[in-house]
Amino acid sequence: MKKIIFILLIGSFSLVAYIVPKQMFYTVPKSWPKPKYDFSKNPLTAEKIELGRALFYDPILSIDNTISCTSCHSQFTAFTHVDHPLSHGIEGKMGTRNSPALINLAWHSLYMWDGAINHLDMQSLAPITHPDEMGSTLEGVMRKLQKSPVYRKLFYKAYGDSTITGQYTLQALSQFMLTLVSSNSKYDSVMAKKAKFTLQEENGYKLFQKNCSSCHTEPLFSDYQFKNNGLPVDPLLKDYGRMKLTKNPQDSLKFKVPTLRNIEFSYPYMHDGRFKRLSDVLTHYAMGIQHSNTLAPELQKPVVLNSVEREELIAFLKTLTDKTFLFNPKFSYPKEVLTK
Amino acid sequence: MFSVSSLFSQTVTVNPVFGNSNLQLDHWYKLKSGDSVKIETLSFYISGIELLNNGTSVWKEKNSFHLIEASQSNAIKIPSGIKYDHIKFNLGIDSITNVSGAMGGDLDPTKGMYWTWQSGYINLKLEGKSNLCATKKNEFQFHLGGYQNPFNSLQTIELSVKENQRIKIVLDMEKVFAQLNLSKQNHVMMPCKEAMIAAKNIAKLFSVQ
């Protein structure tokens, strides 16, 4: 009998050993659409995610080793920055747009406020090389990484090759960013019937569905389309959004609809960060919309709410906060790797 | 048993030339107009190489992406023992590859042939100086690319070739400069109509020597 138990134990251990390497790094939350990212071309592994996480947190990507991705995308603010409307880079230089929150990136088909980037792998190239952001060249970054024993080891662990390439570097950054999935807010618990909205939140949800959800579509809280939401043009920035790229007047003043997940922590708002508070945003949709021929059809009429309704809508938006995302240790600074 | 080398014993070379001689970078050339020009960088992509016989495809290279750099010799292996009368290839990178994320080899973004602020490969890069350019240091810069309509600059080239020979394809830069109007246009740096026109004109200047 003892012998049989022993054999069973051995058997179950080997079963565990067999299952562990097949660990899932990515699961599509229930009832969510299929991700746009093609995982078959860049299959996630623990080592590649770890490498990507180290790169994400390491200022080695900037020309003077002062700025890392997290300088403008910090975890506790849903991977964006707060306190200043426009992002800044090396030597205190200012960019022209508000850094977007890095959430659920596998579901985007185009990146940046104007959709200039067509694939998550290529996204990192823009901040690495922009003179007002990290000011590097990809070739320069490769040289620095190749000289680093820490990175040679990390690349070897991830790719079985200590020769560092642009492809490996960009794919590893994607791997880490792809894991930044936020799907565990109170809203999600309510949808899964594991929690209940308060009456105020419930009323806010109804207002949201009536007034906001045609662009901020559930469950991702964006349709990821490009729309003109009626913001007056900033006379200094003169930013006409997607038109700069397509040279098509139909795209004038169009920017990507951002997700509202973790919106409570991802202030300031809009492509140029002009609004500090959610109440400023609601005021814009009530009385600030500028009409022009590219204005989103959904915003032809202002969204006017009374003061009680405004409180209700904001209470609902706060149910999109996901503390398990904002404080997930898997997404934080990899001190065990970078402080060696 | 055939060895791989005997099956692929023929080569295609693609090289930029200036008139009758091999192109030298950083060398001042005299144009027929009397103006002078110096090429500092010339790189372009050749992709989708295919051999045709009587209008029918008889061989296609797999993963066919080659970065041709003026400073390096470029030899591409093709199979022997196949009848063909034409070679077909693209000048540039197709739209599917352009939207497929980070690639390796000749397509690695560290090759300097990828735009960083707007996704897409630079199909052809030509940089240098000429007295024709009323610019800082008389510089000209052409970064020709764009994979999306209405600014898709990919070009397909088909050339007649004789069988069983070493195929030598050249791009005559003297003719390229006769086409480009450097005094009027010396900076094309993004997908646009001008890039498409320049790419179309340059594609016509490839020939078999």
What is the pLDDT at residue A286?
97
Do A152 and A162 form a contact (C-beta atoms < 8 A)? yes
Whether residue A2 has pLDDT greater than 70: no
For residues B95 and B100, give the distance between their C-alpha atoms in angstroms, rounded to a whole number: 9
Residues of B in contact with A250 (CB under 8 A): none
C-alpha A182, offset from chain centre: 9
Q: Which of A121, A128, A245 sits opposite B102 (nearest CB)?
A: A121
CB contact set of A149 (below 8 Å; sequence gap of 6+): none
- Three-state SS across A77-136? HCCECCCCCCCECHHHCECCCCCCCCCCHHHCCCECCCCCECCHHHHCHHHHHCCCCCCC
What is the pLDDT at residue A83?
67
What integer best gives the mean pLDDT of chain B?
A: 92
Any idea which of A57-61, A219-223, B75-79, B104-108 has the lowest mean pLDDT? B75-79
What is the pLDDT at residue A4?
52
Residues of B in contact with A168 (CB under 8 A): 104
What is the pLDDT at residue A337?
87
What is the pLDDT at residue A26?
79
Whether residue A338 has pLDDT greater than 50: yes
What integer best gives the mean pLDDT of chain A?
A: 90
Give this complex's ipTM: 0.86
Do B139 and B177 form a contact (C-beta atoms < 8 A)? no
Q: Which of B101, B117, B118 sits opposite A121 (nearest CB)?
A: B101
Q: How many CB contacts within 8 angstroms connect chain A with chain B?
A: 68
pLDDT digit string (tens) for B71-124?
887 889 998 888 999 999 999 999 999 999 999 999 999 999 999 989 999 999
pLDDT digit string (tens) for A199-216?
999 999 999 999 999 999
What is the pLDDT at residue A18?
43
pLDDT digit string (tens) for A259-276?
999 999 999 999 999 999
- pLDDT-derived band at A9 (thresholds 50, 70, 90) equals very low
Q: Region A127-136: what's the mean pLDDT?
A: 91
CB contact under 8 A, B102 and A138: no
Closest chain B C-alpha to A121 CA, distance in angstroms: 5
- pLDDT-derived band at A193 (thresholds 50, 70, 90) equals very high
What is the pLDDT at residue A16?
42
Helix H or strand E segment including A13 = helix A2-19
For residues B93 and B103, give the distance between their C-alpha atoms in angstroms, rounded to a whole number: 12
Do A227 and A296 form a contact (C-beta atoms < 8 A)? yes
For residues A226 and A256, give the distance between their C-alpha atoms in angstroms, rounded to a whole number: 4
Strand, coil or helix: B52: strand
Whether residue B151 has pLDDT greater than 80: yes
What is the pLDDT at residue A94?
77
Whether residue A10 has pLDDT greater than 60: no
What is the pLDDT at residue B1?
41
Whether residue A168 has pLDDT greater than 70: yes
Most A CBs within 10 A among B117, B148, B149, B196, hence the mutation to make, goes to B117
Cα-based angle B177, B121, B51 (whole degrees, multiple of 5)? 75
Percent of chain B past pLDDT 70, that is, above it, reads 96
Whether residue B5 has pLDDT greater than 90: no
CB contact under 8 A, B192 and A247: yes
Is A315 near chain B, with CB under 8 Å?
no
Residues of B in contact with A122 (CB under 8 A): 101-102, 109, 114, 119
Domains along chain A with CATH numbers:
39-181 (1.10.760.10), 186-324 (1.10.760.10)
Q: Region A55-75: what's the mean pLDDT?
A: 92
Q: Which of B101, B104, B114 sits opposite A165 (nearest CB)?
A: B104
- pLDDT-derived band at B131 (thresholds 50, 70, 90) equals very high
Domain residue ranges in chain B: 4-208
What is the pLDDT at residue A96?
83
Whether residue A20 has pLDDT greater than 60: no
For residues B106 and B47, give the distance between their C-alpha atoms in angstroms, rounded to a whole number: 11
* Interface residues on B facing A, Cβ-Cβ cutoff 8 A: 98-104, 107-112, 114, 116-120, 192
Q: Is the peptide bond before B79 cis (omega within 30 degrees of 0)?
A: no
Torsional sign, CA A144, A147, A150, A156? positive
Closest chain B C-alpha to A237 CA, distance in angstroms: 18
Strands B36-53 and B86-91, how do they pair? antiparallel
